[in-house]
Amino acid sequence: MDILYCGDEKIEDGLILSILSLLKNVKEPLHIFVLTIYFCVEGKEYHPISGYFAAALDKMVKKVNSNNFVSLIDITEMFCAQVPEANLGTRFTPCCMLRLFADKIPELPEKILYLDNDVICRKDCSKFFHQDISDYEFAGVLDYYGRWLFRRNLLKPDYQNSGVLLMNMQMLRKSGLLQKCRELCEEKKMFMPDQSALNKLAVSKKIVPRRFNEQRRLQKDTVLQHFTTSFRFFPWLHVVTVKPWDIERMHSELNLYEYDKLLHTYRQLHSKIKEELQESVHEKI
């Protein structure tokens, strides 16, 4: 199974947890690709995921299956050649748009499952990955809130969440969808730029059941749970953003204990990986 993540060093905690959840539930070999960049805008720096960290992840996944691997790909030069200028000042970081460069990476296979780093695999997602999407550019779940707020078809919700995308790279390269999305992000400021561009410009996309990108509350049939920002209406209207590695808030605010065993493993490995990274840096110095 081929998996894609994107981001800077700030996604490292989420990467450990998300990959651990895949290792727990997926039995076939995992080929994990991670796109990263260094970028600076308005005095704010985005530092790339380090090679040391990627090597630690690679070591972790190979302990489960020697055919597993984690491959880090720095696309700084590529990103800087086509900066999404119109969307650098939004509340979403430039790294949110890295997935739009996937068609330019020759190492990526013809089909790949993109995951945000705040997605946890709860059940085996192999059937989801191996479904036939040969006639589609990508497959994804409707956005929980966006399906009502943004749609091209007034009679049928069609606005998808980009946090879990099964991408048909062969068709995406042929149709030029991602190139068109990059160009739109250069020219037009948008809310949730990468997601908005994909939904606006996609010609053929497959809508799959909610269980493959649960964005609201854990359900009995949830396969992939995505910890996005959500609204709560009791005791008053408020916004809730809890990430899965924030264990205390998972309990206190979401009342969610489903992943406690996974989080226990995460805590142990997180400490070990960070210690090894510090040792590697000191040795280099």
What is the maximum span of the chain, computed from C-alpha positions, in angstroms?
61
**Which residues lie below 8 Å from residue 60, measured CB to CB, with a gap of 6+?**
16, 19, 23, 269, 273
Cα–Cα–Cα angle for 123, 129, 130, rounded to 5 degrees: 120
How far is Cα 205 from Cα 11, in angstroms, rounded to an integer? 27
pLDDT surpassing 90 at residue 246: yes
pLDDT surpassing 70 at residue 284: no
pLDDT of residue 74: 98
Query: pLDDT of 191-213, one tens digit each?
Result: 889 999 999 999 999 999 999 99
Confidence band for 282, pLDDT divided at 50, 70 and 90: low
Domain boundaries, the chain: 2-284
pLDDT of residue 100: 98
CATH architecture of the region 2-284: Alpha-Beta Complex (3.90)
pLDDT surpassing 70 at residue 134: yes
pLDDT of residue 275: 83
pLDDT surpassing 60 at residue 5: yes
Q: What is the DSSP code (8-state) at residue 9? A: G
pLDDT of residue 234: 64
**Which residues lie below 8 Å from residue 31, measured CB to CB, with a gap of 6+?**
1, 2, 3, 68, 69, 71, 109
Q: What is the model's pTM?
A: 0.93
How far is Cα 227 from Cα 215, in angstroms, rounded to an integer? 6
Query: pLDDT of 24-55, one tens digit each?
Result: 999 999 999 999 999 998 888 999 999 999 99
pLDDT of residue 156: 80
